[in-house]
């Protein structure tokens, strides 16, 4: 009996040791690959503001007559300040599905004379068009960001699209630029980024790829010449997730001289019929969402391979202008408003996805998180005069270090985060060097239980040259609320050691770390 007890104790000890060894298994990240990487475009860190729920009305825009909430021409000052802290490079508007029902001339001129519109895609609410072209483009100037206009192709005309471009971009004498001046704006805004419709395969017209390719060619023909330097970025409505045929048809049938970018939309969704809760999710739902988020790696790789076939010089950019987590709406809110909370799970989605974009910076030149305020994976949530910053906001702020820096290609000896027979790479990472020679390394551990030691060889390393910041919380469901707005915020990170030319980092479970090495 005693021998049996000793044998069981010995086996338990072996199991404990095995678990400890697994938890302490090192992940090696090699940055000294002697390969020069491309520039990580700051436009990868773009945002999205659709006329959807409380993103515009009751979010960004509280109206000219608002006296309780500080604002500039109806735009909330606290949102402007928060987004400027993120250094947002671009903002996409007015949609989304809304874009292909939006007629821009309804949103200009005296506000009391603008017609109303029923937002048939999102809640069937009636909007008064008080937030239109002038309001959006002036807001972009407040934000010090570049506007990205999504034009109406599904229910609009070539003339309507071309007139809009003339209205916002022409400084000369023309019917539309004269109309702009009559409406109070002397100088053109010079909008460079233009989307030629949105989701043409779905809410943008339910078109086939072949049909949309021809429609795109027609619209693109009349898009040039309205900026001072004659350059605009023409972005085709691209594929939904793994619809590789859509990319193939567009790349094959649209001449390269008529296209500058092709879009891609991909959301992290458990099941479109049962999306699961935003906060009270379980481990299985957490793992599944991260599986969906990690699909971005394969999607980018395969869509880029198709683009390479028709554009080997890499002149056409991949624009992932909708991405993020999508769950069931919060209880008691309008299902058409897509309002959801934002937890540490969303921080994992953001960190992992941005690392993927960074590591594919040779083709991925722009992306837009969906959406900025009060909708889907928002960086900001509001409730009347209150405003909170979400975990996703904090990840985006930490990653500003990568804006327009040069990618440092890496090789990772990774470990797996497993659930049943399924597994994912536990560690996600990207690295860059800025114009001042400082290296920045972003690390994400998606494992819900285990911490890992990350070993990074760096020649000539000094401990005094390393600083860090971490976003971590003790539960994957943790989030910021209006009662606890600072429950999940970044803190100083010190859990690293310098051993010779090795930087060793202990990365907690469910965490995002940004390291700076001078």
List, in sequence order, every residue forming a beta bridge with 368; answer none if it has no partner.
46
Phi, psi of 79 (to 5 degrees): -70, -45
Say which DSSP state 476 is in. Answer: T
Cβ atoms of 381 and 512 within 8 Å: the answer is no
Q: Strand pairing of 90-93 and 46-48? A: parallel
Alpha-carbon distance of 15 to 6, in angstroms, equals: 14
DSSP string, 7-22: HHHHHHHHHHHHHHHH
322 catalytic residue (yes or no): yes
Name the active-site residue from 50, 135, 322, 450: 322
The Cα 375–Cα 332 span in angstroms is: 15
CA distance 35 to 13: 45
In which element (H, E) is residue 38 found? none
From the centroid of its chain, how far is CA 474?
Answer: 25
User: What distance in Å separates the CA atoms of residue 311 and residue 333, rounded to the nearest whole number?
Assistant: 46
Does the bond joining 239 to the residue before it have cis omega, within 30 degrees of 0? no
Query: How many other CB atoms are found less than 10 A from the CB of residue 253?
Result: 15
Q: How far is 126 from 103, CA to CA, in rounded Å?
A: 15
Q: Choose, from 127, 146, 199, 450, the residue flagged as catalytic.
A: 199
- Active-site annotation holds for 469: no
Contacts of 181 (CB under 8 A, 6+ apart): none
Nearest of 344, 361, 491, 356 to residue 429 by alpha carbon? 356
436, 461, 451: which is closest to 493 by C-alpha? 451
Confirm if 513 and 468 have CB atoms less than 8 A apart. Answer: yes
Q: Do 423 and 463 contact (CB within 8 A), yes or no? A: no
| Residue 509 to residue 31: CA distance in whole angstroms | 23
Q: Which of 286, 361, 309 is nearest to 40 (CA)?
A: 361
Residues 6+ apart with CB under 8 A from 318: 261, 262, 264, 300, 303, 304, 307, 360, 363, 364, 365
Active site residues: 199, 322
């Amino acid at each position: 009996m005693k021998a049996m007890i000793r044998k069981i104790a010995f086996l338990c000890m072996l199991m404990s040791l095995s678990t400890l060894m697994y938890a302490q298994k090192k992940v090696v990240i090699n940055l000294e690959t002697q390969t020069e990487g491309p520039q990580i475009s700051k436009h990868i860190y773009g945002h999205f503001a659709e006329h959807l729920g409380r993103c515009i009305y009751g979010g960004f825009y509280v109206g000219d007559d608002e006296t309780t909430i500080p604002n500039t021409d109806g735009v909330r000052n606290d949102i402007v300040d928060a987004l400027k802290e993120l250094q947002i490079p671009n903002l996409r508007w007015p949609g989304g599905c809304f874009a292909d029902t939006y007629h821009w001339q309804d949103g200009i001129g005296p506000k009391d004379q603008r017609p109303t519109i029923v937002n048939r895609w999102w809640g069937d609410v009636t909007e008064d068009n008080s937030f239109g072209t002038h309001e959006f483009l002036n807001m972009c100037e407040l934000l010090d960001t570049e506007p990205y206009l999504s034009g109406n192709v599904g229910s609009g005309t070539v003339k309507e699209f071309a007139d809009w471009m003339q209205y916002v971009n022409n400084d000369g004498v023309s019917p539309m630029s004269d109309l702009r001046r009559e409406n109070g704006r002397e100088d053109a805004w010079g909008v460079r980024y233009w989307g030629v419709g949105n989701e043409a395969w779905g809410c943008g017209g339910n078109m086939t790829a072949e049909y949309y390719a021809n429609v795109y060619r027609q619209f693109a023909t009349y898009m040039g010449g309205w900026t001072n330097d004659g350059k605009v970025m023409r972005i085709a409505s691209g594929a939904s997730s793994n619809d590789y045929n859509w990319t193939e048809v567009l790349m094959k049938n649209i001449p390269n001289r008529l296209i500058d970018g092709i879009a891609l939309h991909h959301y992290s969704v458990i099941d479109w019929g049962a999306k699961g809760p935003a906060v009270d999710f379980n481990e299985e739902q957490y793992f599944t969402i991260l599986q969906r988020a990690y699909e971005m790696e394969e999607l980018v790789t395969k869509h880029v391979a198709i683009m390479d076939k028709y554009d080997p010089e890499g002149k056409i950019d991949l624009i992932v202008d909708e991405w993020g987590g999508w769950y069931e709406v919060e209880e008691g809110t309008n299902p058409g408003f897509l309002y959801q909370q934002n937890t540490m799970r969303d921080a994992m989605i953001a960190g992992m996805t941005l690392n993927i974009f960074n590591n594919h910076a040779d083709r991925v030149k722009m992306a837009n998180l969906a959406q900025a305020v009060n909708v889907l994976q928002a960086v900001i949530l509001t409730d009347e005069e209150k405003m909170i910053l979400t975990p996703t906001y904090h990840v985006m702020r930490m990653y500003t270090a990568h804006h327009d820096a040069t990618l440092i290609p890496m090789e990772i000896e990774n470990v797996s985060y497993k659930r049943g027979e399924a597994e994912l790479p536990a560690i996600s990472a990207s690295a860059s060097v800025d114009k001042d020679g400082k290296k920045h390394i972003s690390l994400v551990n998606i494992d819900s239980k285990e911490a890992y030691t990350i070993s990074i060889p760096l020649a000539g390393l000094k401990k005094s040259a390393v600083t860090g910041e971490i976003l971590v919380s003790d539960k994957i469901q943790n989030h910021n609320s209006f009662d606890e707005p600072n429950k999940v915020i970044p803190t100083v990170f010190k859990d690293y050691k310098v051993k010779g030319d090795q930087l060793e980092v202990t990365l907690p479970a469910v965490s995002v770390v940004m390291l700076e090495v001078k």
